[in-house]
Homo-oligomer: A and B are copies of this chain.
């Protein structure tokens, strides 16, 4: 049976990399242009400009030829000196990574350990800063991809301002996924990778700094070369290129993807992500599956599997038998979780596909549930909703 369903068409609903629109793939397949030409200069200017509303900043957004982890390291080595202190929120694999990067560079990390699936509470940040008054920065994720959980970045401004610390946010699964208001929220550094809501293949990162973060970076001597952000800003703002050879095809792709995003309208993009996530959560409830997260992210939903069901097998069944790519859990959640991404080139209708495949995989594993209940819940949630923003704008009823 399943074998009959697999054709050439593949669905990619992992929390990154996400499916890339054909328009973007074709743009990247254009003949290569040189990175020190006015032609490329216009492209990178457009890409950096187009990112600003996604970051919620009027400041400069700088591109890096690296993955999101490279941008995380850039944030650390441009803001802190070895031996300096920082607080970081470890509520999952990517929060833990802040700690590893800080340690690798000889900084002193004060960990706020948060149970997987829980958001950090602002008072925990406040306490950690009280206990580490020498801390110069707070590092966290806006959306912790490994636990599919939102941290309340928007509630931290008063705390970090009071303590005079920089607020550094990994926005890899939040920039372009839901509204970011970097300037309004007092975020000093926000960063992301190309392979999530930006709908570009991996290999490109973007980072923005507040004025006080730029000041700090410019005065800091921490060893760095490739990730020297002040040098990159100069090259990108003044020379309309990058300090070293620019990944031209990825930047071309990003400019095209941003054209699609702004063509659709950011609010609609965010509403689409939110509805897809909401429909997926409704399906989980209908199937009797619990969410890992107590504060679910709109970019990716993590479903806890019933005891005794091997999550790895579920993911492999969906991928190998049904051509539907989702991701399992990482580290302590390995084998216990299925993560379904809702970022970028995905619509609420795709939730039907993902949930149908999940139902089939669960059935194959012998899990008992009301067959079709998940799909029905998706349908109920999205019917009449998917087109709502468009109708509201055009004023036309059905």
Residues of A participating in the B interface, judged by any CB pair closer than 8 Å: 10, 12, 14, 16-20, 25-26, 28-37, 65-70, 73, 82, 100-101, 104-106, 193, 195, 201-204, 223-228, 243-250, 319, 325, 327
Contact = CB atoms under 8 A, between A and B. Distances in A.
A30 B244 CA distance: 27
Contact of A245 (B82, B202, B227, B325): B202
6 contacts: A16-B245, A66-B66, A69-B226, A69-B245, A70-B244, A195-B245
The oligomer's copy count stands at 2
A170 to B, nearest CB: 13
B31 A65 contact: no
A29 B82 CA distance: 42
B245 A17 contact: yes
A226 to B, nearest CB: 5
A25 B29 contact: yes
- The A interface is mostly helix, strand or loop, or mixed, namely loop
Contacts of A18: 32
Given A100-B225, A226-B69, A201 B32 contact: yes
B223 A105 contact: yes
A337 to B, nearest CB: 15
A68 to B, nearest CB: 7
Nearest to A246: B202
A16 B202 CA distance: 21
Contact of A202 (B12, B20, B65): B65
A105 B225 contact: yes
Contacts of A82: 223
A115 B202 CA distance: 40
